[in-house]
Amino acid sequence: MAGQMLPPIALVAVAICITAVAAAKVPAIYVFGDSTADVGNNNYLTGAAVPRANFPHNGIDFPTSRPTGRFSNGYNGVDFLALNMGFRRSPPPFLAVANKTSNPLFRGLQGTNFASAGSGILDSTGQSIIPMSKQVQQFAAVQRNISARISQQAADTVLSRSLFLISTGGNDIFAFFSANSTPSSAEMQRFVTNLVSLYTNHVKDLYVLGARKFAVIDVPPIGCCPYPRSLQPLGACIDVLNELARGLNKGVKDAMHGLSVSFSGFKYSIGSSHAVVQSIMKHPQRLGFKEVTTACCGSGKFNGESGCTPNATLCDNRHDYLFWDLLHPTHATSKIAAAAIYNGSLRFAAPINFRQLVDDQH
């Protein structure tokens, strides 16, 4: 690539692309994952089993108070990370733009969000949703579209500077636990090893398609969400879920380091939502929270027995809550998490933080 000249039309295309988001620090963000990152893809899927959030009280604090499909009272973590990078919020859901032909030259050039609530690393995780493997295939279609419009070389340049954000794994752990709530150490190890191997394959597939900068969000202590607590007789965190989350996080950390050694130009940061949530649970007042066990919106024990529906109980002081619903953070939590991951110390993002990953122009 070094020393090669881009054809004039490609240079113009790249210049227009980058000028179009003049304030942005990367040409584009491509997002993959589950409900922690979904901004409305599942709205376009059919079937009763599809997890959705395109109804109140979701979105009550979103601009114009509209439910968009985000599992939040407002923005999710991806929105806040995108804001930090100079975008308005997350790029649009793939399924919202997949069939639009307007401005085809730059469709996908400023990023796309492929995340699907309920999905996981494994194809077997979730029902009637878009698994990670299919999300990668959808990106391949976007990549082909970009290459066809602005030349392969120009596309390679844009994609190598863009950010590939991945937030997944929690649903795989929940599915494993629901099938076997008392797994042996050997079973847990086998499961995590397989999960890390498949995660690594998804990342390699994205690399082959032109991705070079990977921003990974790890799995939080999901055993402490209101839903698992509601299942535990004493209302405590479910340790097996937290142990599996720690195991997956460690495996992915080691795998990403290995890929950075083996693959030319491979750069990454792992943002630790795990460390952020732990910090909030340990010192809630210090970070402005008052309630770290019960969800703001839901029903039953800890408001964790069912989702945030129009008929659910809704708290008044949403900014005081760590959890929005049975499994997801509030707008306030996501804002703090994104700030810590983007600008924070090694405790919250390693081996560099997201800002350093974004600023790395080499």
> Cβ neighbours of residue 238 under 8 Å, at least 6 residues apart?
177, 223, 224, 228, 229, 231, 232
Judged against a pLDDT cut of 60, whether residue 66 lies above it is answered with yes
pLDDT-based confidence at residue 14 (cuts at 50, 70, 90) = very low
Write down the pLDDT at residue 242: 98
Judged against a pLDDT cut of 70, whether residue 16 lies above it is answered with no
Judged against a pLDDT cut of 60, whether residue 6 lies above it is answered with no
Residue 336 domain flag: no
Task: For residue 9, give Cα distances in angstroms to 17, 27, 116.
Answer: 12, 17, 35
Residue 45 domain flag: yes
Judged against a pLDDT cut of 90, whether residue 299 lies above it is answered with yes
Residue 288 domain flag: no
Span 152-181, average pLDDT:
97
- Among 57, 202, 328, 331, the active-site one is 328
Domain count of the chain? 1
Q: Lowest mean pLDDT: which of 138-152, 238-252, 258-272, 345-359?
A: 138-152
Contact assessment for residue 43 and residue 52, using Cβ atoms and an 8 Å cutoff? yes
Judged against a pLDDT cut of 70, whether residue 20 lies above it is answered with no
Residue 145 domain flag: yes
Residue 159 domain flag: yes
Cβ count near 356 (within 10 Å): 14
Task: Domain of residue 99: give its range.
Answer: 27-272+344-357
- CA dist 40 and 54 (Å) reads 8
- Which pLDDT tens digit goes with each residue over 196-215? 999 999 999 999 999 999 99
Write down the pLDDT at residue 5: 40
Residue 278 domain flag: no
Residue 260 domain flag: yes
331 is catalytic: no
Average pLDDT score, the chain: 92
Task: For residue 228, give Cα distances in angstroms to 176, 205, 277, 297, 305.
Answer: 14, 33, 15, 15, 9
Residue 160 domain flag: yes
- Among 34, 38, 172, 325, the active-site one is 325
Contact assessment for residue 25 and residue 86, using Cβ atoms and an 8 Å cutoff? yes
For the record, the structure tokens of 208 come out as 């082959």
Write down the pLDDT at residue 84: 97
DSSP-assigned letters across all residues of 272-338: -HHHHHHHHHHSTGGGT-SBSSS-SEEBSGGG-SB---TTSEE-S-GGGBSBSSSS-B-HHHHHHHH
Write down the pLDDT at residue 170: 98
- Which pLDDT tens digit goes with each residue over 83-109? 999 999 999 999 998 866 555 444 678
Torsion of CA 81, 131, 136, 43, to 10 degrees: -60
Which CATH number belongs to the domain containing residue 103 in this structure? 3.40.50
Judged against a pLDDT cut of 80, whether residue 342 lies above it is answered with yes
35 is catalytic: yes
Q: In degrees rounded to 5, what are phi and psi of residue 138? A: -65, -40
- CA dist 109 and 142 (Å) reads 9
- CA dist 229 and 51 (Å) reads 20
319 is catalytic: no
Span 164-184, average pLDDT:
98
Does residue 145 or residue 43 have the better pLDDT?
A: 43
pLDDT-based confidence at residue 275 (cuts at 50, 70, 90) = very high
pLDDT-based confidence at residue 12 (cuts at 50, 70, 90) = very low
Write down the pLDDT at residue 149: 87
Write down the pLDDT at residue 101: 55
Write down the pLDDT at residue 105: 40
- Among 34, 35, 147, 162, the active-site one is 35
For the record, the structure tokens of 211 come out as 């991705």
- Which pLDDT tens digit goes with each residue over 122-160? 999 999 999 999 999 999 999 998 998 888 999 999 999
